[in-house]
Amino acid sequence: MSISVPETYWWKPVDREEKIWVTVALIWCIFITLMMPYWHFTGKQNPPWETYKIKPEQFEKLAADFIAKHKVGEDNGIPVVEPPPGGDAFLVASTWKFEPVLKLQKGQTYRLHVSSLDYQHGLSIFPINMNFMILPDYDYVLTITPTESGDYRIMCNEFCGIGHHNMVGKITVT
Ligand SMILES: [Cu+2]
């Protein structure tokens, strides 16, 4: 007969080796679960808690006013802006550019407002490997203090359409 009833106890009893590995896996699960809240408070890698709802048109207007007030030059058609140390700075992501180019001073703290005017974009700052997601309708306030001078590239790391690979911005720290 091709079909037969399995024996009542068809499994092998748990041996010592299996018990050890299950224990190791359980301890590891508990450890990484506890690391999540621990790292939340100590890792200094959290997205900002300061976020506001804003319409893209409003954000665009705030950024345009900021650019008009603090513009110091131009870089390939993109305005270069020097925000006041300790003050607000704006960075606009839209298909497929970041505007303006920001000129910051080392050791000074800025409140950097970032938002998107259209789709989801990514804010990836090279070479320091800082990553942040930018969504339309939200004004994210990143409180930043540059510690090293130099030229930093901003790259979009969320696929946002045909021009995504060209979506590059710049921050200069002097
Ligand atoms: Cu993109």
- Distance in Å, CA 57 to ligand 1 centroid: 20
- Would strands 150-155 and 110-116 be described as parallel, antiparallel, or unpaired? unpaired
Q: Does residue 125 fall inside a structural domain?
A: yes
The residue among 69, 73, 62 whose CA lies nearest residue 83 is 69
Q: Does residue 44 fall inside a structural domain?
A: no
Burial class (CB in 10 A: 0-12, 13-18, 19+), 93: buried
Q: Does residue 45 fall inside a structural domain?
A: no
Q: Does residue 12 fall inside a structural domain?
A: no
- Would strands 110-116 and 168-173 be described as parallel, antiparallel, or unpaired? unpaired
Q: Does residue 40 fall inside a structural domain?
A: no
Domain containing residue 99: CATH number: 2.60.40.420
The residue among 111, 114, 89 whose CA lies nearest residue 102 is 89
Angle, CA 16 vertex, CA 13 and CA 22 arms, to 5° = 90
Q: Does residue 19 fall inside a structural domain?
A: no
- Distance in Å, CA 72 to ligand 1 centroid: 27
- Distance in Å, CA 16 to ligand 1 centroid: 52
Q: Does residue 160 fall inside a structural domain?
A: yes
Distances (CA, A) of 50 to 11, 111, 112, 139: 55, 10, 11, 8
What is the full per-residue pLDDT of the chain (174 aa) written as tens digits?
678 877 777 778 889 999 999 999 999 999 999 999 998 888 877 777 899 999 999 999 999 999 999 999 999 899 999 999 999 999 999 999 999 999 999 999 999 999 999 999 999 999 888 889 999 999 999 999 999 999 999 999 999 999 999 999 999 999
| Count: domains in the chain | 1
Q: Does residue 85 fall inside a structural domain?
A: yes
- The range of the structural domain enclosing residue 116 comes to 51-173
